[in-house]
Amino acid sequence: MNVEEFRHYCLKKKGVTEEFPFDEVTLVFKVMGKMFAIVPLERIPSQVNLKCDPERAIELREEYDGIVMPAYYMSKTHWNTLYFEQLPTKMITELTDHSYELVVANFTKKLKAALDDL
């Protein structure tokens, strides 16, 4: 999976928008205004930061040492950095779905209702 394929995958999800809130090279995907994926476009090899359950994050880091690691500039407990080219597309999409679902699970009732109405 490359960055453009990842972008299209994210934008197909309900309530997702993309923006550059930090600078012109850090692409952020949000669901109803809450971040679930961050892509630093200038990084080579290409990578993405995704939210992750803390226990699963540790397991992934151990199993994919050097390919999945604590995210830069993010909560190391809740965010991982993944390298696109070194992981199967299926795994990237599963972890993207997991990140999206974690964010949605923490929505208020009002925000959940707004997402459901889309």
Domains in the chain: ranges and CATH? 3-116 (3.90.1150.30)
> At 97, is the pLDDT very low, low, confident or very high (cuts 50, 70, 90)?
very high
pLDDT at 74: 87
Asked if residues 95 and 57 have their Cβ atoms less than 8 Å apart, the reply is: no
Asked if residues 32 and 114 have their Cβ atoms less than 8 Å apart, the reply is: yes
pLDDT at 32: 97
Percent of the chain whose pLDDT exceeds 70: 100
Does residue 29 register a pLDDT over 90? yes
Summarised one tens digit per residue, pLDDT across range 39-85 is 999 999 999 999 999 999 999 999 999 999 999 888 888 999 999 88
pLDDT at 72: 82
pLDDT at 108: 95
| Helices of type H across the chain | 3-11, 54-63, 89-105, 109-116
Residue 43: which H helix or E strand, with range? Answer: none
Does residue 4 register a pLDDT over 90? yes
Name the more confident of 85 and 7: 7
pLDDT at 112: 94
pTM, full prediction: 0.94
